[in-house]
A and B are shown apart, each in its own frame.
Chain A
């Protein structure tokens, strides 16, 4: 019989080897560029000249919070995230509850509800641009919300909810199927109604699924870029301009690579902090089966 320490070491080595490809990609495409961007964020580089601009210290970081565009974009991003996280999870859970029983119809409906998630965000954006402007306008006589300063952001969020609710449904379905039937039977015997069974049994026991979905949709919402760029380009005006779009425009359109890089670093820290905090709070509410 092999010594335990040798087995454990081999296990750890094997685990590392399986993690290595993803870790390598993370280091090469995420961590290294992030680290390389830190000195750029301390300069006034315009992104075009070979020389990387002059050292300006923390001026870019100070300007981020003094300038209105970053703060406004932060507000837009948070509102967008609030809408998408709430609606995606509520709708996903409702869909999961509706199709949790196995059967031909439910199996078919699960596929239908999940289908939008297969479509890329860019394609979803262009599809809904057409739907809003041609179908909604002709069928209901309503103006496309993507052209309204007031309704553009909810309209874009609606596209994301339409696309992601199916994914949330799948995760919630997995969680629902882990809940023992005995609890429901006991609750029915005790006279608990459907709402009570949902809030006292279902919801606490599917908290791991809630945590996973909320953290995932939260990260998607905070980092939103491609859907907004394809649907409205951040417009009309700055109505749908998220933080990612502001960073992109500063680096690639406005020749403010140093400022944009600083904004990207602040943005990364912000997203990591918010995601970690939410994940921590939700995990505390999980119930061990």
Chain B
């Protein structure tokens, strides 16, 4: 029993970072932009949050956890948005190819994160690894009282606040996309920008906003990983391939934020499953680690078999829009 609770807990912890990334990517893809730069953007968000907190904690006598948290949140969101903005300028205004631009952004963002993660303390004149324990404590703080309830407390209330932000965000996003006028417009832009344009919707504006805000949200995934999961430290490539898992999760969730919630927990569970199955050899463990990707491939094939309209990617996904080109 105890192991199962820990397993569920760990699966959720693994899943939330991916969930942020997937939420950002769903919003982006709904506007017709396939942003393969998400993994890089998540690195950018993570390192920017860490740097913000680092300079704050270094510059003040008695750093306050709450202020550090605010600073790192803002830094992470803005820096990730900057990544989204680069992508937007190149693909929307300059009509560069989306796949190529996204991959370039991932190269850039991953390098950006690892570079500053490894060098920031040296550049600031210090030595050793950076650690922002004060700020991280704000992210790791659990709900007092509730988290002490046995079983229910451990499964539902034993996480930092970002977990609940991620869940709330999925619900809000779902409401926005499927229940509001602006959400409808956004989906129209993603499905068929030509028609949306003819209906008087400002295609570029929707694409820019969705991509930049989506990038900002994805950046929080990196921040979550750095602050709550790693306790305010940076390890090179520590974030690993979770960014691509986020892209995979979007497909798995069939572009629906609510599906992404349980999908992220499932992915998190698959990601760590090998640790909990007794008697696995090292080599079998490695096979198990491929599970999230294999499952995604199966879902991808499955939705292309079924051809159900609601489950398909946005029709205009991956294509630049140029009004004068028909």
Real complex partners, A and B? no
Seen from chain A, the residues whose Cβ lies within 8 Å of a Cβ on chain B are none
Seen from chain B, the residues whose Cβ lies within 8 Å of a Cβ on chain A are none
